[in-house]
Amino acid sequence: MINFSRKDLYMIGLMLFALFFGAGNLIFPPFLGFQAGESFWPAILGFVVTGVGLPLVTVLAIAMTRDGVAEMGKRVSPLFSIVFSVTAYLSIGPFFGIPRGANVAYEMSIKPFLGNSPANSWILFLFSVVFFSLVYWVCLNPSKLVERIGSILTPLLLAAIALLVLGSLYNLDGKSAGTTGKFTSAPFAAGFLEGYLTMDTIAALAFGIIVINSIREKGVTDKATIARLTLKAGLIAGGGLALVYMGLGLLGTKMPGANSYENGVEILTESANLMFGPFGMVLLGLIVTLACFTTCVGLVAACGQFFSRQFPKVSYLKFATVITIVSFCIANLGLNQIITISVPVLTVIYPITIVLVLLSLTDKYFGGKKGVYIGAVSAALIISVLDVAMSFGMNLPWLHAFLHSLPLYSEGLGWLVPTIIGGTGGYLLNKLTKTNM
C-alpha cells in the first residue's frame, strides 16, 4: 500500500541535503569566494555545476537502474563493475570521505579553542572515539535515517548556516585581495574543478540508493514513480545546496584581503570570530559537527548496504563495523594529508563517473551498445590517468604536448573530446560487426 505524502517528499529532500552537505561543502565555497574576488559569480557557477548539478543527475540515473552503480558498470564489463564500484565506495567512504568529515568537524569545533596545544593529537583521538561511536549507533538502524536526519538534524543545520551567512553579509565589510591564482584566467573552469573536491557526484552513487529505499519503504514500487519522486527530492536538496554555496562563497568575498588564509577552515573560523566572538565559534562548531555527522552517517550506511549486497555472506552490521573502524583510524592522519591523498584519486574517478551517468541517461538513444560504454569509459580513464601522472612529476615532453593539445584541457575537461571519440568509435564498431560486444 502506497503511503507517500508531500511531507515525506520534503523530509527525504532535506535528508538528501544533509547527506550531501558535509566537510567539503563547508570548506571549499568560502575559500573559492576569497580567491575568486571580482570573478566570484562565474567561479561559483562552475562550482554549482559540479557540486549540485552533477550529483542530482547522478541520483536520477541511480533511480533509473535496478542495482545502482554496479549495474551501470556492468554495461562496460563485469570486472570493471566490481573494480569501479568498490573503488568509488571506498573513496567516498572509509578511505577519504568519512575520515575527512570527522577531521573537519574536529578542526572547526574543538581545535579553535585549543590553539597549538601539544595534546591536539590525543584530543583528536578522543573526539574521533565519541564521533564515530555516535555515527555507528545511528547506522545500526538505517531505516530511521529520514526521521533522524530529515526532520531533526537538517532544520537545525539550516538555521545555524543561515545565521552565520546572514550575519557575515551584514557585519563583514572587508575587501578581498581581488582575483588570484587559478581564478584569474578561467574562473568558471576553476570553480568547476573545485566542485570535484566536494566528492558529491561520487557520493550520489551511494546516496541515490538511500533515497530510493526511503521511497520504497512508503509502498512505492513503480520504477517511473520512484524516478519522478527522486527527481523532486533531488531538486529540493539541490536548491538548498546552491543557496548555501552562494552564501558561503559571498562570505569568503567579504573577508579582508590583507590576511592570508590557507583553506576554508581558516576563513570560516575567522569570520565567525569577527562577527560573533566566542558565540560565533560555538555556532560554527555546531554547523560543522551537524554537517559532517549527517554525511558520515549516510556514507557508513550506504557503504555498508552496498558491500553487504555485493558480498551477501557478510552482514550489513559487520561491514558497518569495519567501515567505522577504518574511518576512525584514517581520520587521525590529519585533514591536509587526507585531502592531498584524495585529489589524484578523485581526478581519475570523477570523469568516469560522469561518463557512466550520462551514458546511462542516454542509453536508449544509442541502443545500449556495449561498444559505446567501453570506448567512452576507456578514453576517459586513459586521459585521467595520464593527467594525474603528469601532475605527479612525469613531465615527459610528448605527454605534456599531447595533453595540452586536447580541447578544453586548460578548463579541466581534456577527457571530454577523447571520450566522445571513443564512444563514437565503439558505436561504429558495433554497427560494422553487427554485434553488441
- 11: in domain: yes
pLDDT band at 97 (very low <50, low <70, confident <90, very high): confident
Query: Which range in 25-29, 122-126, 230-234 is most confidently predicted, on average pLDDT?
Result: 230-234
> Are residue 343 and residue 408 in the same domain, yes or no?
no
Integer Cα distance of 348 and 360 in angstroms: 19
29: closest CA among 200, 221, 212, 244?
Answer: 244
Predicted pLDDT of residue 80:
93
> Are residue 165 and residue 216 in the same domain, yes or no?
yes
> Are residue 411 and residue 313 in the same domain, yes or no?
no
pLDDT band at 132 (very low <50, low <70, confident <90, very high): very high
- 3-state DSSP call for residue 267? helix
Predicted pLDDT of residue 257:
65
What are the tens digits of pLDDT across the range 422-432? 999 999 998 88
What are the tens digits of pLDDT across the range 348-375? 888 898 899 899 889 989 988 999 999 9
Predicted pLDDT of residue 2:
65
Q: Tabulate helix, strand, coil % of the chain (nearest 5).
A: 80, 0, 20
- 89: in domain: yes
- 221: in domain: yes
pLDDT at 20 over 80: yes
- 185: in domain: yes
Predicted pLDDT of residue 174:
60
Amino acid type, 61: A
pLDDT at 58 over 60: yes
> Are residue 258 and residue 305 in the same domain, yes or no?
yes
- Looking at per-residue confidence, does 284 or 135 come out higher? 135
pLDDT band at 259 (very low <50, low <70, confident <90, very high): low
DSSP string, 102-167: HHHHHHHHTGGGT-S-TTHHHHHHHHHHHHHHHHHHHHT-GGGHIIIIIIIIHHHHHHHHHHHHHH
Integer Cα distance of 252 and 174 in angstroms: 10
> Are residue 280 and residue 369 in the same domain, yes or no?
no
What are the tens digits of pLDDT across the range 321-351? 999 999 998 888 776 677 777 777 777 888 8
> Are residue 295 and residue 183 in the same domain, yes or no?
yes
> Are residue 307 and residue 404 in the same domain, yes or no?
no
- Which letter does DSSP use for residue 412 in this model? T
* 0.85 exceeded by pTM: no
pLDDT band at 88 (very low <50, low <70, confident <90, very high): confident
Query: Which range in 158-167, 171-180, 271-280, 349-358 is most confidently predicted, on average pLDDT?
Result: 349-358
- 355: in domain: no
Picking from 305, 321, 347, the residue at the C-terminal end of a domain is: 347
pLDDT at 376 over 90: yes
With cell 574562473, the residue in question is: 187
pLDDT at 437 over 60: no
> Are residue 299 and residue 426 in the same domain, yes or no?
no
Picking from 296, 323, 347, the residue at the C-terminal end of a domain is: 347
> Are residue 320 and residue 415 in the same domain, yes or no?
no
CB 54 within 8 A of CB 203: no
- 354: in domain: no
Picking from 316, 347, 378, the residue at the C-terminal end of a domain is: 347
What are the tens digits of pLDDT across the range 207-248? 888 888 889 888 888 888 998 999 999 999 999 999 999 999
Q: How many structural domains is the chain composed of?
A: 2
Integer Cα distance of 151 and 146 in angstroms: 7
Cell numbers at 324, concatenated: 567505522
What CATH number did the domain enclosing 15 receive? 1.20.1740.10
- 352: in domain: no
CB 377 within 8 A of CB 76: yes
| Distances 128 to 106, 330, 363, 421 between C-alpha atoms, Å | 8, 10, 44, 47
Domain residues for 12?
A: 6-347
The HSE-up count of residue 431 (CA atoms within 13 Å, CB side) is 9
> Are residue 301 and residue 376 in the same domain, yes or no?
no
pLDDT at 69 over 90: no
pLDDT band at 392 (very low <50, low <70, confident <90, very high): confident
> Are residue 330 and residue 400 in the same domain, yes or no?
no
> Are residue 33 and residue 109 in the same domain, yes or no?
yes
Predicted pLDDT of residue 275:
79
- 357: in domain: no
Mean pLDDT of 309-320: 92
